[in-house]
């Protein structure tokens, strides 16, 4: 029998799982929200991932269910588990990727390093937290935020008045004086086997990942700490599949957990060319409980640059020709999306012995899409 993996969500992460499924000789099926998604090639069902009947019908046809995103509601996930369907990661760990307040509480129990944080439900509580944290804090809606959405820098309670008005608790965090952002990925199988990727540096612009450098330069001691933190989170939460831990590095050389993602992640796209086993194949191996692959680097330096927005004239074909024509050989990955301002329509990757060279090549290839 051919193993069948079902992916809920038809975004670029599902798309990039397809080559991995082809290599491994497993069947991949996607439940997408629209017929023409980035994962159209593997789409076997179109529907709402919040609708129990839709998700159940899809899940019954596969050996294991996994995800392109973390938005499937807990009651839907519980129903799948109730039918003995393998859901990886399971509802329990996924809760901590769905709700940032739950995440902060659980990470505190695990002793993971975090920014100072609190739950606030009123202007008075928020005002007090601001006063205790230097007059400027970060307020987050516990659910639904991504790529800078649902996150706001706040200096007085009035800045979050609209959110407070809703009446639901908000997460407030100290505004960390970080020197850079890092991401640590690990994979974990149901059997418990773990695979730890090299720590990477991620450069965010306007709340969106713009560039990733693998491995993170000058990271010696920090790299070990990041691997320990991510491993303890993967084990503590019982994650199966890929886990990405986004981290702040502070000016006093500490790391603090910013966010969690329980799926392949933008900070791991470099691994397609840069690691022996890329994050997409590793995710499939992990959720199918197959042996995990080596996470070793394939080049001293790998740089990934996102293609954001795409060509203003919409001519992706011309931009692709320009990017591919670069004699220095960046790998080009397009997601089958129409260009739109700020939209991630692809990424490019360059690698080699020299970080500056790789950076130059990757940026030049990405610039072909501007």
Structure tokens that stand for 48 in this block:
């709402």
Residue 341 DSSP one-character state: T
Using rule CB under 8 A, residue 312 touches a copy of itself: no
**329 near a copy of itself, rule: CB under 8 A:** yes
Contact at 8 Å (CB) between 341 and 314? no
Binding status of residue 354 toward a copy of itself by CB under 8 A: no
Q: Does 296 bind a copy of itself (CB under 8 A)?
A: yes
Among residues 181 and 278, whose Cβ is nearest to a copy of itself?
A: 278
Reference 303, options 269, 363, 349, 347; nearest CA is 349
- Classify burial at 214, counting beta carbons within 10 Å of its beta carbon; exposed 0-12, middle 13-18, buried 19 or more: buried
DSSP-assigned letter for residue 115: -
Selected range binding a copy of itself among 117-125, 175-183, 217-225, 320-328, rule: CB under 8 A: 320-328
DSSP string, 38-92: TTGGGEEEES-TT-HHHHHHHHTTSSEEEESSS-S-HHHHHHHHHTT--BSS-HH
364 binds a copy of itself (CB under 8 A): no
Residue 366 touches a copy of itself, criterion: CB under 8 A: no
Candidates 144, 177, 294, 312; binder of a copy of itself (CB under 8 A) is: 294
C-alpha dist (Å) from residue 80 to 76, 158, 196, 204: 7, 42, 29, 36
Q: From the list 62, 126, 242, 316, which residue makes contact with a copy of itself (rule: CB under 8 A)?
A: 316
Q: What is the closest distance, in whole angstroms, from the C-beta atom of residue 248 to a copy of itself in the complex?
A: 32
Min dist. Cβ of residue 89 to a copy of itself (A): 20
Residue among 216 and 334 whose Cβ is closer to a copy of itself: 334
Residues 206-225: x where in contact with a copy of itself by CB under 8 A, - otherwise, as a string = --------------------
Q: Which is nearer to a copy of itself, 19 or 236 (CB)?
A: 19
What are the phi and psi torsion angles at 215 (to 5°)? Answer: -75, 170
List alpha helices for 180-310, DSSP H: 220-237, 271-274, 279-287
By CB under 8 A, residue 324 contacts a copy of itself: yes
Binding site for a copy of itself (CB under 8 A): 1-3, 15-16, 18-19, 22-25, 27-28, 41-42, 276-277, 285, 290-291, 293-294, 296, 298, 316-317, 320-321, 324-325, 327, 329, 331-336, 346
């Amino acid at each position: 029998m051919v193993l069948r993996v079902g992916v809920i969500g038809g975004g670029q992460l599902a798309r990039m799982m397809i080559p991995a499924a082809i290599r491994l000789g497993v069947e991949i099926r996607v439940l997408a929200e629209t017929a023409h998604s980035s994962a159209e090639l593997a789409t076997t069902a179109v529907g709402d991932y919040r609708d129990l009947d839709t998700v159940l019908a899809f899940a019954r046809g596969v050996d294991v269910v996994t995800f392109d995103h973390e938005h499937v509601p807990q009651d839907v996930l519980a129903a799948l588990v109730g039918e003995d369907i393998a859901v990886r990661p399971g509802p329990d760990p996924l809760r901590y990727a769905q709700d940032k307040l739950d995440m902060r509480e659980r990470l505190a129990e695990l002793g993971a390093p975090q920014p100072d944080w609190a739950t606030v439900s009123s202007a008075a509580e928020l005002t007090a937290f601001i006063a205790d944290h230097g007059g400027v804090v970060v307020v987050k809606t516990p659910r639904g935020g991504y790529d800078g959405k649902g996150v706001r820098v706040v200096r007085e309670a009035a800045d979050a008045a609209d959110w407070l008005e809703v009446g639901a608790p908000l997460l407030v965090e100290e505004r960390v004086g970080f020197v850079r952002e890092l991401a640590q990925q690990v994979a974990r199988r149901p059997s418990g086997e773990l695979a730890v990727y090299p720590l990477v540096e991620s450069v965010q612009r306007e709340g969106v990942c713009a560039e990733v450098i693998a491995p993170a330069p000058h990271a010696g001691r920090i790299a070990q700490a990041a691997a320990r933190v991510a491993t303890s989170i993967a084990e503590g939460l019982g994650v199966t599949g890929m886990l990405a831990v986004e981290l702040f590095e502070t000016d006093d050389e500490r790391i603090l957990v910013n966010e969690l993602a329980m799926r392949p992640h933008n900070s791991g796209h470099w691994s397609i060319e840069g690691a022996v086993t890329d994050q997409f194949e590793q995710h499939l191996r992990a959720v199918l409980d197959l042996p995990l692959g080596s996470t070793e680097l394939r080049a001293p330096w790998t740089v990934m640059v996102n293609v954001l927005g795409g060509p203003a004239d919409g001519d992706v074909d011309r931009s692709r020709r320009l990017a591919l024509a670069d004699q220095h050989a960046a790998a080009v990955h397009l997601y089958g999306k129409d260009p739109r301002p700020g939209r991630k329509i692809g990424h490019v990757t360059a690698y080699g012995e020299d970080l500056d060279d790789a950076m130059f090549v990757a940026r030049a290839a990405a610039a072909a899409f501007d």
